[in-house]
Amino acid sequence: MSLSPAQLTPHGRGFSTWHAYDPSCKAELWSTLYRSAHGTTLFDPINWPQETPLPTPPVRIIRTNTNHDRFCQGMAGLVHGTVETEVAGFENVPLSGAGEGETAYFHPESKSLVVGDALINLPPHGLTLLPDKYCTDPIQLRQSVRRLSQLPIERIFFAHGAPIVHDGLSVLNPLLS
């Protein structure tokens, strides 16, 4: 993967994002960074922004589904990080029916949700579910996503689309009905 991502954009509470258009899949790819006293976590990383210093160890790399290898192994080598499935301070939220192994990560302290392909927030449509043609089971995905209404979500970070940084559950509710 050889992309030219935009610089890191901070969103507060330890979260930042970066993104780039990937002509091979004709999609805007977004990655999320979370920094805490325990180190740095990179969700679905793409190439690192050139003008931004690399994160220093310890660095954990999280793949939200099996389709998001993207630059995970390359980034792990670059920052001496490890690819993992659990993150301290986050709850794993399986979203069955999207892509294989789709898991969102909820950070209760900041009320932030990091999601892979199950939810997409791209123009001109805004927030939508993963299109049925890409789902392993569209009906099951709708059932899985409804469980998100039980979480006090304020912010949502996506693998495809700009983050929602206020009133995340209110924006998400129309998809949950």
For the chain, which domains are there? 9-176 (3.60.15.10)
Q: Whole-angstrom Cα distance, residue 162 to residue 166?
A: 12
Alpha carbon distances (Å) from 77 to 25, 61, 73, 121: 24, 11, 6, 30
Helix H, strand E, coil C: the string for 137-164 is CHHHHHHHHHHHHHCCCCEEEECCECCE
The amino acid occupying position 8 is: L
With 0-12 / 13-18 / 19 or more C-beta atoms within 10 angstroms meaning exposed / middle / buried, residue 71 is buried
Q: Per-residue pLDDT for the chain (177 aa), expressed as one digit of tens each?
A: 578 898 999 999 999 999 999 998 888 999 999 999 999 999 999 999 999 999 999 999 999 999 888 789 999 999 999 999 999 999 999 999 999 999 999 999 999 999 999 999 999 999 999 999 999 999 999 999 999 999 999 999 999 999 999 999 999 999 987
The answer to whether the beta carbons of residues 56 and 12 sit under 8 Å apart is no
The whole-model pTM stands at 0.96
Q: Which residues does residue 18 pair with via DSSP β-bridges, in sequence order? A: 31
Q: Which residues does residue 97 pair with via DSSP β-bridges, in sequence order? A: none
